[in-house]
Amino acid sequence: MTKPSLLILPGDGIGPEVMTEVRKIIAWFGENRGLEFNVSEDLVGGCAYDAHGTPLHDDTMAKAQEVDAVLLGAVGGPQYDDLDFGLKPERGLLRLRKEMDLFANLRPAQCFDSLADFSSLKTEVVSGLDIMIVRESTSGVYFGEPRGIFEEGNERVGINTQRYTESEIDRVARSAFELARRRNNKVCSMEKANVMESGVLWREIVQKVHDSDYPDVELSHMYADAGAMQLCRWPKQFDVIVTDNLFGDILSDTAAMLTGSLGMLPSATLGPVMPNGRPKAMYEPVHGSAPDIAGQGKANPIACILSFAMALRYSFDQGAEADRLEQAIETVLGDGARTPDLMGPEGGTPFTTAQMGDAILNALGSSI
Letter for the amino acid at 206?
A: V
Average pLDDT over residues 278-288: 93
What is residue 260's predicted lDDT score, i.e. its pLDDT? 67
Asked if 289 and 80 touch (Cβ cutoff 8 Å), the reply is: no
Q: Is residue 368 scored above 90 in pLDDT?
A: no
| pLDDT single digits (tens) 245-273 | 999 999 988 887 787 666 788 999 999 98
Is 323 assigned a catalytic role? no
User: Per the residue annotation, which of 101, 170, 213, 225 is the catalytic one?
Assistant: 225
Tell me, which fold does domain 1-108+262-368 have in CATH? Answer: Isopropylmalate Dehydrogenase (3.40.718)
| pLDDT single digits (tens) 294-306 | 999 999 999 999 9
Asked if 88 and 301 touch (Cβ cutoff 8 Å), the reply is: no
What is residue 290's predicted lDDT score, i.e. its pLDDT? 95
What percent of the chain has pLDDT above 90?
A: 82
What is residue 141's predicted lDDT score, i.e. its pLDDT? 96
275: three-class secondary structure by DSSP: coil
User: Per the residue annotation, which of 142, 214, 283, 314 is the catalytic one?
Assistant: 142
Is 249 assigned a catalytic role? yes
Average pLDDT over residues 224-238: 96
Is 236 assigned a catalytic role? no
User: According to CATH, what is the number of the domain 130-258?
Assistant: 3.40.718.10
Is 80 assigned a catalytic role? no
Give the residue among 223, 278, 277, 228 at the shortest CA–CA distance from 251.
228
Tell me how far apart the alpha carbons of residues 334 and 295 are, in angstroms, rounded to a whole number.
Answer: 27
Sign of the CA dihedral with 228 first, then 233, 235, and 241 last: negative
Is 192 assigned a catalytic role? yes
Q: Is residue 275 scored above 90 in pLDDT?
A: no
* CA separation, residue 297 to residues 59, 100, 277, 301 (Å): 31, 33, 39, 10
User: Per the residue annotation, which of 192, 239, 298, 341 is the catalytic one?
Assistant: 192
User: Per the residue annotation, which of 42, 239, 249, 341 is the catalytic one?
Assistant: 249
Domain boundaries for CATH 3.40.718.10 within the chain? 1-108+262-368, 130-258
